[in-house]
Structure 1
C-alpha cells in the first residue's frame, strides 16, 4: 500500500510538495517519487510501502512507450496470470510489480481494463496522447481516494484529506452537514467533515480532460443483489445449502490464497469468531511459513474475546500475540487515532485498532482481516432479521424505515418534529444552512427492491465511511501496515449475492452458509459461536463515570471556547447532553441507562468535531514554523494544541 497525490492546474511550490510527502509518509515509508508535466499543469507524488517487488517497484511508473504515467495505492491480485496473458499479446514489462499490469491492461483494453482488475486499489493514470487523467477506485472502496475542485480551476487528489490541505491548494474548513446524522447517506455525493472534499466513489473511475478540465464519473461494476434472492425458499431445502457452501469455500479459499502473495511477512487479525478463524485456517493450509496472529483484549471487561482468540490460535497453530489495553491507553491515543482517521467516531474501538496495528507492524508488514463477512453473509442478526421479516410481510411501498433511520435506530421517530428539534444541537450560525442541506440531499431510491436487498446494499455502501476507514485503512496505515480483505473479493461476492437469504440467515443463525462452508475445517465451538465484535471496548464511553479521570486531558475540547471556535455544535446543547450523560445507571430503568449511553455518544461526537477543528484548521502541522516541529508531527507525534482557536 502507498500514498498517492496529484494536482492538475496550479503549479505546486517546492515546500508544498514536501508537506504532501510528509503527511503521507506513514502510508509509504520505503520510498517516494514524483512526476510533473508543465504543459499539462500536472504533478504526481507517491510514497511507497514496499510489499511486492522490493527492488524495482518504484513509482510513478511509465509505460514502455512513455505515453502513460501511473501512481497506485493497493494490490492487484492474480497479477502474475494477467501479466502472462498480456505478454502473450506482445506487451513488455520492466518490473515484477503488481501495479505495472495496470499500464498494459489500459494499453490493451482502454477504459475496459477495470473488468480485468481484482483487488484493493486506488490509482491515478495520465494518458499523454489522449490528454486524459483517470482516477479509479476498487469495487468496495477499500482504498481511499479523495479530491477537490479548485475554485480557480483544476483539481487535487490524495489518499488522505490532510494531503490535500498540506498542498496549500485547499484551506481546511469544517462541513457541518457531515456531522448531521439526519443528512441522508449518499455514497456518490458523500459529505465529508471538511468542505470542498469529494471522493471517487467505489467501483468507479473519473476522467478529466487535462486541457478543458471537463470531468466525467463512470461506474464500472454493480453490487446489485438479485431480487429473487429475497424470496422464501420452500422446505425441505435438500442439498442446495451444501452446494452453496461448497461454492463459498472454493471462492473464499481462492481469495485467501491470492492475498498471501507478498515479499514480506503476512499475519492475521484473529478473534474467536468464525470469520477470522476461518480465514486463518485457510491461510495456514495455503502457507508454508509460520503464521503470526494478533488479537486485542480490554482490561476490566467481561466482554473480552481473549479465551476464544486463544482457542482459535491453538486450532490454527499460529504464533499468537495479544495486546492488553486499559481505558487510559485508549483515551491517551484518541487524538492520534483521529488524526489518521480524519472522520469522527463515537466509541473507542478505532483507538483499539490503532494500537493493535502498532503491535502487528512490529512483526509483519501485511495483515489479513475478516471485515466484510457480516455485510455479505448477513452477520448482523437482529438488523438483517428485521429486514427479512419486513420483506416477507410485504409492507406497502414507503412504509419501511430508511437506511438512515435504521442506522440511527430511530424507527418512526424521523419525522418533521424530530428534524426541527435536532437543529438546536448545532451552532446557531449553522442551523439555516443545515436545514437547507437536509432538504437538498437526494439519494437513489431503493423502494422497488425487496427490503432485505436494499438494507444489505445500504450496509455495503456505508462501509468505506466506517468499518473500512476508522476501523480499517486509516488505523492500519498509520503504522505502515497493509491490510487485505478476502471477504471483499468481488469474485466471492458475485457468488454470494446469488445465494438466497434463507441460506444465509437460517433457523435464527446468522452467516449460516459461511458456517456450513467451514464445516470440517473449524471445530464447532468456533464455527457455530454467535457473532461478537472484534473491537469491542470494555464498556461504552462514560465521560462522567468511569472515563472521567482517563479522559480529563481532552475535556478542554468541550469548553465554551472550543464550541465557539469550531462553530459546529451548540454549547447549550452540550450542557443539556452532559446532564443526561449523568443519569443514574439503573438496571431497573433501562431507558435511563440507554439515554445516558446515547448522550455520551453525542458528547463524544461533539468532542471529535472540536478536535478536528483544532488539528486541521487551527494548528495544522504543515504550517510548523521550524524543521524540528515538522519532524515532530511527521513521526506520528500529532498532539492537539492546548490553545483555543476562533
Structure 2
C-alpha cells in the first residue's frame, strides 16, 4: 500500500474517499456518437471482449448529453472499490477511463488539492482527470508512466485521448457508421461493430517486416501513436505529438565522458526502478533472463532496495536458445528465488493460438508463446505485477542489426531511394525489405498485381517526420529512432509485452523505458562508436555495473527467441504449422497464394541455415494470419 504524504489540503467533500492502493490493471473502451444515441449493448460487448484484462468489475459512464460513453474493465490488485472506473468529477460533466499507471502522482494530487480540486478516490487516474482540466493537453508533460486514457469534457464537448511516450499501453480507434470507437485491443472494436477486415496494404508492408507507425493489420483500425494525443469534437478529429525521442543532432554530440555519464545515468535508472516497485500489499515479482537489462532491474531491486521477490525465467530445451543457466547464476548471486518455466515444444504449440489472438499480430518466431507461458505461471503463483527489462536495446543499440548496413546498398534498386533519403541504410531495415521482396511470390496473384510496383520502403518512410526527427542525426541514431517508432511500438511491446501479459491478467512495468531516464541517456551518451563493438550497450553496462555479475557484465547480447520449429522435424510445433498451412483458413486468406505456401512448407526439409530460418519465419507469419482469420472472422 502506498503511504500518504503529509500535506495541507482544503476540506474534502462529504463523499467516500477510497483507500489509496495500487491502481488496478484494466482495459478501456469509449464511443463518440455526436448524431444519434449510443446503444449500451455496444459498450457492453466491447467490455466483454476485454474480460481478460479486467475480470473483476466492468464500469460504464454515459455523458449527460448522450454523445459519449466510457467503459472500463478492472482486475483488482488490492482494493476493488478504489479501482472503480470510469471516474467522473464532482459535477458529473467530465470523466476519464485509464489503462496503466502514473508514477509520482501523489505530489500532483497534493498540488491540485491546494488549488481546490476535490478527489473522490485514492486513484492515480483521477489525477489525470483534474490535471487535464487545469492544464489541457499540457498536462501530459507532468505525467510519467505507462498509460492510455480517454477523457470527455461535456462543457467543452471535447473528447481527449492520450498514450504514453513509447506505446507500452495500447490504444486503438476506428470510425464507423458515424461513430468513433476506442479500445485497448482490436477485438473490442470488432465486438462494438467495427467491421473486421484485413488492411491489405498493411499486410503487404508486414510481409516486408515493416510496421508503420499508427497502423494495424486491420482496415480502418488505427493506433494512437506513442507520445501523441487526440482531440475529437464538433471541430473534427485532430492528432498531435507531445513528446518524441530526444535524439540530439550529430553536430552536437560530444565525446563520451564514460565515468560521469555512467554516474548520472545510474541515478536515473535507480529512480525509474524505485518508482515502479509496488507497495507491500501487492504480490509482485520480476522476469529474469541471462542478459544485462533484466539483470539490471533485478540487481537494483535486491541490492539497492533490499527486496527479495520471486523471479521467473523461461527454460527452452534447445541449449542454443536457453538462457536459464545464466539466469540461475544471477539469481543465486542476488539471493533470489528463481522459478524456471519449462517451455517444451508441446507447450509452445498449445500456447500458439492464444498468443496470436491476444497479441493481434503476425509472428515469425514462437517467442510470444513462451512469454505467455511465463506470464501464466506468474499469475498462477498469485502475482499481479512484474518488473521487466524491455526497452534498453532501443536506447543503447543492443541489437547488431541496428547498425548501418553495407555501403553497396546505396546502389541496390530496392534500397537506393531510402539510402539517399536517410544518408545510409540500417541493417534491419534494408534486410527486411530484401527478405520481403523474396516473399512476394507467396502473396496471392491479386496482391502481386496490386502492389507489384509499390516501393515498400517509400511507403514505410512516408509515415515518419524525417526532416524533424531523423535529419542531421548520426546514422546509428537514425536507425534507433525508426526501430523504436515501428518495430518496438507496433510489434515487440505488443507481442512480448502487453498482449501476452494482459492475457494472463498480469501488469508489467518497464523501468528501462522511463522517459526521464531516456532523456538523460541521450543527453550524456555522447557520440556513438564509429565501428560496431563486440560488446554492445557499453554506457548502460558501466552505469549499472554495481548491480551485475561479472558474467552478465561481460556477456554478449542474445536476443530473446524461441527455438525454431524446424529443430524438431517430427515435433508438435512443425505438426501444428503443417496443420495451419494445409487448413481451409489458408485458402480463405485473401492475400495468400495457398498452393505456393504449401510447396514452400513441403520443401522445408531441403533448406538449411539462414534460408531455412527465413522460410520458417514466413510460414509462421502466414500461419498466424490463419489463426487471426479464424478468431475474428476477418474478410
State the Cα distance separating 1:53 from its structure 2 match.
Answer: 5.2
Cross-structure match for 2:494: 469
Structure 1 residues 352 and 493: CA distance shift in structure 2, 3 A: same
| Other-structure match for 2:386 | 367
2:50 is aligned to 24
Number of the residue aligned with 1:378: 397
Residues in 2 aligned to 1:230 and 1:267: alpha-carbon distance in whole angstroms: 41
Aligned residue pairs, count: 590
Report Cα offsets for 1:246-272 as digits up to 9, x if no partner.
111100010000001344122100012
- Answering whether residue 425 of structure 2 is matched by residue 425 of structure 1, we say no
CA distance 1:7–1:396, change in 2 (3 Å): closer
Is residue 151 of structure 2 the alignment partner of residue 125 of structure 1?
Answer: yes
**Within 5 A, what are the aligned runs for 1:440-479?**
441=459, 442-444=462-464, 445=466, 446=470, 448-462=472-486, 463-479=488-504
Q: What is the rounded CA distance, in whole Å, between the counterparts of 2:209 and 2:364 in structure 1?
A: 19
> Would you say the 8 A contact 2:566–2:616 is kept in 1?
yes
Bigger drift between 266-275 and 15-24 goes to 15-24
Mapped contact 1:182–1:438 kept (Cα < 8 A): no
**1:422 shift after superposition:** 4.9
Q: Report whether the alignment pairs 1:434 with 2:451.
A: yes
Q: Does 1:277 align with 2:295?
A: yes
Give the deviation of 1:148 after TM superposition: 0.4
Q: Is residue 565 from structure 1 mapped to residue 588 from structure 2 by the alignment?
A: yes
Work out whether residues 145 and 159 of structure 1, in 8 Å CA contact, stay in contact via their aligned partners in 2: yes
State how far apart, in whole Å, the 2-side matches of 1:230 and 1:384 are: 20
Cα distance between partner residues in 2 of 1:138 and 1:106:
15
Q: 2: CA distance between counterparts of 1:452 and 1:390?
A: 16
Which of residues 323, 330, 337 in structure 2 aligns to 1:305? 323
- Provide the rounded CA distance (Å) in 1 between the counterparts of 2:422 and 2:392: 29
Q: CA deviation at 1:482?
A: 0.1
Q: Summarize the Cα distance change of 1:485–1:598 in structure 2 as closer, same or farther, 3 Å threshold.
A: same
Unaligned ranges ≥5, structure 1: 586-592, 619-645
Q: Say whether 1:523 aligns with 2:543.
A: no
Q: Counterpart of 2:273? A: 256
Greater CA deviation, 244-253 or 276-285?
Answer: 276-285
Deviations 1:227-281 (A, max 9, x none): 2378573xxx6xx201100111100010000001344122100012221111112
Residue 166, structure 1, aligned to residue 175, structure 2: no
CA RMSD in angstroms comes to 2.9
Map of 2:511 onto structure 1: 486
| TM-score (normalised: structure 2) | 0.86
Q: For 1:83-94, what aligned pairs fall within 5 Å after superposition?
A: 83-94=109-120
Contact 1:177 1:183 in 2 (8 A): no
CA distance in 1, matches of 2:599, 2:491: 27
Are the equivalent residues in 2 in contact too, given 1:52–1:97 (CA < 8 A)? no
Is 1:536 aligned to residue 561 of structure 2?
yes
| Gaps in structure 2 of 5+ consecutive residues | 1-24, 411-417
Q: Aligned in 2, Cα 1:39/1:93: closer, same or farther, shift over 3 Å?
A: closer
Deviation at 1:423, TM superposition (A): 3.9
Instruction: Give yes or no for contact 1:184–1:438 (8 Å, CA) kept in 2.
Output: no
Give, in whole Å, the separation in 1 of the partners of 2:617 and 2:419.
34
Is the counterpart of residue 606 in structure 1 residue 622 in structure 2? yes
Q: Return 340-349 or 310-319, whichever deviates more.
A: 310-319
CA distance, structure 1, for counterparts of residue 253 and residue 516 of structure 2: 23
Instruction: Indicate the larger mover: 558-567 or 40-49.
Output: 558-567
Kindly indicate whether the alpha-carbon contact (under 8 Å) linking 2:404 and 2:424 is maintained by their aligned counterparts in 1.
no
Residue 353 of structure 1: which of 362, 371, 379 is its match?
A: 371
Q: Give 3-state SS (helix, strand or coil) of 2:83's partner.
A: coil
CA contact (8 A) 2:535 2:555 kept: no
Whole-Å Cα distance in 2 between the matches of residues 183 and 546 of structure 1? 27
Separation in 1, partners of 2:498, 2:406? 29
Q: Residue 474 of structure 1: CA displacement? A: 0.5
Is the Cα contact below 8 Å between 1:174 and 1:566 reproduced in 2? no
